[in-house]
Amino acid sequence: MSLLQIAEPGMSTTPHAHRLAAGIDLGTTNSLVATVRSGVPETLADAAGRHILPSVVRYRTDAPPQVGIEAKAAAAEDPLNTLASIKRLMGRGAADLKTVAGHVPYAFAAGDAAVPRICTVAGEVTAIEVSAEILRTLRERAEISLGGELSGVVITVPAYFDDAQRQATKDAARLAGLNVFRLLNEPTAAAVAYGLDQGGEGLIAVYDLGGGTFDISILRLNRGVFEVLATGGDSALGGDDFDREIAAWMMSEAGLDPDADHQTMRRLMREACDAKEGLSDSESVDVELDLGGGRHWRGQLTRERMNELVDPLIQKTLNACRRALRDAGVEREEVSDVVMVGGSTRMLRVRERVQAFFGREPRVDIDPDKVVAVGAAIQADVLAGNKPDDELLLLDVIPLSLGIETMGGLVEKIIPRNTTIPTARAQEFTTFKDGQTAMAIHVLQGERELVDDCRSLARFVLSGLPPLVAGAPRIRVTFQVDADGLVSITAEELTSGVRAGVEVKPSYGLAEEEIERMLRASIEHAQDDMVARSLREEQVEGARVIEALEAALQADGERLLSADERSGIESARATLAGCLEGDDPEVIRAAIEAVEQASSDFVARRMDTAIRTAMSGHRVDEF
């Protein structure tokens, strides 16, 4: 027989067709796009070989916006139209401008609009539109590199992002022409990049020090599922602040005015950043500043002096780590892994202080600028359906229970809701009638007890069963769910090896509101459902007893029963048949017991007869 195949719209119907997918790290300072090729995750470069895209957009009057390196280079000469750190404004309303505006130099449009609008020479733009330009550039880079259209992406967001910020990210992606598989928490993405999801359980600290922000997240890993226990950090503390401290030292040493103009400050910041990076490989660096008018200043910055300058800032991050641990209710000694994220964690001093704080060496094997994008790419590859079954990630749970229909229109749940995936569960069933050679398998989703109240997912037939008496065949039904939510159901008769199966996508067509409605209904009707289930179970059992009794009477009634005995049994059977039409499970149960009582002698005689027949011509010691 042909198997029913169910797939989401737009998905390839070819089982092993590779779908192009990417992971995007949409950062405050820099952004990246990554993918998985031949099982290996990698970030994608532009035509010039650059992997990192500065999260900067410059708007112009008669030309499309510039994005990335070119926009960043123009920031000094055109600061008001060059928009950076736009992530700070994502999902923010006009009321939030007081707390955000101090960190950005933009001019905001006057008015009472709910969404802040930034004034540029190309007109007013929102943070969503600016982010869409960055995402569009990354999408184009990925599609050129991969040679085709992306089927979807995973975009990372800070763990503390609220619903408005997450929705704004999705809206920006839609404007950029991207299909979002999922938003993934940045610390979770970093942990995935290191394969920590493949471990059993433990506590993970993700220390994320970027150019403009610092985030600390404490994750609990349990059976492959990450739970964010606590987050913390400082949205106005990052590598740029380290550069400012070094630049301030340079200004002091060179005797420059602390209130220097924007262009001078940008030049100083570049020099400070170069010096900071140079001290990662050497104990000291020479610094030279052009003071204008033919004057120059030359000095030397040692690693020791730089450490003194930045130590107070690093201490701020460690204080945030201490608060996050306290909020999570754990001690630093309990942390099993420390993952470093963000370009600023390249600083040796940062790594030394973090190692001393947690008492263990942090993970720095993967480029800290790329680790989040790499984790997102791995997850995108899974959600695109490209990952082999034995390598799937455990990052989700089943929202609603999965099961099959049993006699009487009842639902037998095989995988309960909130089970972590991937998972596999099996349960054995049997036939209801003698000589039954096929079984219809009806796959259902939901929390209710009756088939009519649950959602039908698929049906298939297991045929070719051996024609045995009812209850003799052993049919094992196995549900397997992968990390993309794809469910495979197989049914196998264990004595003959006959098999059949089907694949379904239980999330297809179900919105969050529908899942919530189904869960709410299961709670509201729990008592009624249990009463209805009890009634159906007794009705099914009563029907089984009647059918078995009729078969026994037809086979041995004339030979083993007197007229009075048969009359008594048939009277009890008739009473039971009448009770099956009612709605009282206790009455049906009593009628079943009455039939069993009336037929007990008949059952014993049949058993004796069967034993004598089996032993005829044999000695006892042969058995």
Q: Is residue 291 part of a domain?
A: no
Residues 226 and 338 in one domain: yes
Sequence-distant (≥ 6) Cβ neighbours of residue 127 within 8 angstroms = 86, 87, 89, 90, 91, 92, 115, 116, 118, 168
Q: Which of 133, 171, 186, 538 is catalytic?
A: 186
Assess if residue 557 is contained within a domain: yes
Question: In whole angstroms, how far apart are CA 473 and each of 413, 434, 493, 541?
Answer: 21, 10, 7, 18
C-alpha 66/C-alpha 88 separation (Å) is 20
| Residue 62 among the catalytic residues | no
Residue in 129, 133, 208, 215 annotated catalytic = 208
Question: Could you tell me the pLDDT band of residue 112, with boundaries at 50, 70 and 90?
Answer: low
Q: Read off the amino acid at residue 519.
A: L
pLDDT of res. 444: 85
Mean pLDDT along residues 480-487 = 67
Q: Is residue 86 part of a domain?
A: yes
Task: Quote the CA–CA distance of 176 and 246 in Å, as a whole number.
Answer: 38
The catalytic residue among 25, 234, 447, 503 is 25
Q: Give me the pLDDT at residue 391, please.
A: 44
Domain range for 569: 516-615
Which tokens hold the place of 465? 């069963």
146 in the same domain as 227: yes
Predicted TM-score (pTM) of the model is 0.58
Total count of domains within the chain: 3
In terms of domains, do 438 and 580 share one? no
Q: Check residue 261 and give its pLDDT.
A: 66
pLDDT at position 162:
62
**Structural domain contains residue 290:** no
Could you report the per-residue pLDDT of 266-290, keeping only the tens digit for each? 778 888 888 998 888 889 999 888 7
Residues 70 and 87 reside in one and the same domain: yes
Active-site hit among 46, 72, 87, 243: 87
Q: Is 208 a catalytic residue?
A: yes
| pLDDT confidence tier of residue 14, bands split at 50, 70 and 90 | very low
* Claim to verify: residue 189 and residue 63 sit in the same structural domain: yes
**Whether residue 229 sits in one domain with residue 104:** yes
Are 432 and 526 in a shared domain? no
Residue 136 included in any domain: yes
Q: Does 234 lie in the same domain as 376? A: yes
